[in-house]
Chain A
Amino acid sequence: MAKKQHPISDIEHPSYLDMDLLRFTTAGSVDDGKSTLIGRLLYDSKSIFEDQYEAVKATSKKRGDEYVNLALLTDGLRAEREQGITIDVAYRYFATPKRKFIIADTPGHIQYTRNMVTGASTANAALILIDARKGVVEQTKRHSYIASLLRIQHIIICINKMDLVEYKEDVFKNIKKEYEEFASQINITNAHFIPISALSGDNVVTASKNMKWFKGRTVLALLESLSLPEINNTDAARFPVQYVIRPIGNEHHDYRSYAGRIASGVFAKGDDVTILPSGITSKIKSIDFGGNKLQQAFAPMSVAFTLEDNIDASRGNMIVKSDNNSTVTHDIDLMICWLGDIKLMEHSRKFILKHTTNEVRCIIKEVRYKLNINTLQKIENEKVIGINDIACIAIRTTMPVVIDKYSNNRITGSVILIDESSNVTVGAGMIL
Chain B
Amino acid sequence: MNQHHLSHLKELESESIFVLREVAAQFEKPVLLFSGGKDSIVCFHLARKAFAPAKVPFPLLHIDTGHNFEETIIYRDNLVTKYGAQLIVASVQDSIDTGRVTEEKGFNASRNVLQTVTLLDTIESYKFDALIGGARRDEEKARAKERFFSHRDEFGQWDPKNQRPELWNLFNGRRNIGEHFRVFPISNWTEMDVWQYILQEKIEIPSLYFTHQRECFIRDKVIYAHANVIPLKPNEKVETMQVRFRTIGDISCTGAVLSSAATIEEIVEEVAATRTTERGSRIDDKRSDAAMEDRKKQGYF
Contact = CB atoms under 8 A, between A and B. Distances in A.
Given A289-B49, A418-B172, A59 B289 contact: yes
Contacts of A424: 164
Interface stretch (A77-85, A130-138, A172-180): A77-85
Interface string B167-178: 111101011100
A88 B21 contact: no
B172 A423 contact: yes
A88 B172 contact: no
Contact of A51 (B24, B168, B276, B293): B276
11 contacts: A9-B269, A73-B141, A92-B137, A117-B165, A231-B3, A242-B18, A247-B53, A290-B49, A300-B6, A414-B170, A425-B165
B170 A416 contact: yes
A92 B165 contact: no
Interface string A235-272: 00000001101111001100100011100001000000
Contacts of A89: 145
B293 A76 contact: yes
A53 to B, nearest CB: 9
B163 A88 contact: yes
Contact of B9 (A6, A17, A266): A17
Contacts of B287: none
B15 interface: yes
Given A118-B165, A242-B25, A290-B48, A354 B170 contact: yes
Nearest to A410: B168
B238 interface: no
6 closest A-B pairs (Cβ-Cβ)?
A76-B141, A290-B49, A247-B54, A423-B174, A231-B4, A302-B17
Contacts of A266: 4
Interface in A38-97: 49-52, 55, 59, 73-79, 81, 87-93, 95
B51 A354 contact: no
Interface string B53-80: 1110000000000000000000000000
A73 to B, nearest CB: 8
Contacts, number: 209
Contacts of A230: 2-4
A196 interface: no
B237 to A, nearest CB: 25
A77 B140 CA distance: 11
Contact of A20 (B7, B48, B163): B7
Contacts of B168: 121-122, 410-411, 414, 416
B221 to A, nearest CB: 11
Nearest to A297: B4
Nearest to B24: A243
Contacts of B145: 76-77, 88-91
Contacts of B188: 91, 93, 102
Contact of B54 (A18, A78, A115, A245): A245
A298 B4 contact: yes
Contacts of A354: 170, 172
Interface of B: 2-15, 17-18, 21-22, 24-25, 48-55, 137-138, 140-145, 160-161, 163-170, 172, 174-176, 187-188, 190, 192-193, 196, 199-200, 268-269, 272-277, 280, 289-290, 293-294
A300 B15 contact: yes
A11 B142 contact: no
B208 to A, nearest CB: 21
Given A76-B141, A357-B25, A21 B174 contact: no
A425 B17 contact: no
B125 to A, nearest CB: 24
Given A91-B137, A290-B52, A78 B272 contact: no
A190 B144 CA distance: 31
Given A300-B11, A411-B169, A291 B192 contact: no
B148 to A, nearest CB: 10
Contacts of B10: 301
A100 interface: yes
Interface residues of A, number: 84
B167 A49 contact: no
A49 B277 contact: yes
A329 interface: no
A64 to B, nearest CB: 16
Contact of A243 (B8, B21, B140): B21
A59 B141 CA distance: 14
Contacts of B275: 6, 49-50
A337 B170 CA distance: 15
A77 B294 CA distance: 9
A232 interface: yes
Given A16-B196, A122-B168, A93 B8 contact: no
B152 to A, nearest CB: 13
Contacts of A77: 142, 145, 160-161, 290, 293
A352 interface: yes
B137 to A, nearest CB: 4
A90 B12 contact: no
Given A51-B280, A88-B160, A18 B7 contact: yes
A357 B25 CA distance: 9
B268 A11 contact: yes
A401 to B, nearest CB: 13
Contacts of B269: 9, 11
Contacts of A362: none
B185 to A, nearest CB: 11
Contacts of B53: 245, 247, 251-252, 255, 288, 291
Contacts of B187: 91
A226 interface: no
Given A21-B12, A49-B274, 12 more contacts: A49-B277, A75-B141, A77-B142, A102-B188, A117-B167, A230-B3, A231-B4, A247-B53, A298-B6, A418-B174, A423-B175, A423-B176
